[in-house]
Amino acid sequence: MEPQVTDNTEQSRFEISTDAGLAGFAEYQLRDGGRIAFVHTVIDPAFGGQGLGGKLARAVLDTARERGLGVLPYCPFIRGWIAKHPEYVDLVPADKRAKFDL
């Protein structure tokens, strides 16, 4: 099975799962003004080296774009992923990019 990313709204996190189970998650906080703050991302070490962190990051950022949300990448992993994929920098509000070195 291809990894699946779902929004677990009860726990305020996007989860990535494979046929072997839950592989990781990206915790978020919805903020006023139509913004989503990503605060913590975890990939279980048992699933390391499979590119699941990148798949999770792409999925959560694509979802934010689809929902029209600005992204506040407090999580170092999400922030670093955006820095490596400049096509996602526009999701970070222009007045916040310097704060996140983007």
Residue-wise pLDDT for 68-81, tens only, equals 999 999 999 999 99
Report the percent of the chain where pLDDT is more than 70.
Answer: 100
Q: For strands 13-18 and 4-8, give the pairing.
A: antiparallel
Q: Are 64 and 71 in contact (CB under 8 A)?
A: yes
pLDDT tens column, 3-12 = 999 999 999 9
Cβ proximity of 28 and 15 under 8 Å = no
Specify whether the CB–CB gap between 100 and 92 falls below 8 A.
yes
8 Å CB contact between 44 and 22: yes
pTM above 0.75, yes or no: yes
CA distance linking residue 75 with residue 78, whole number of Å: 6
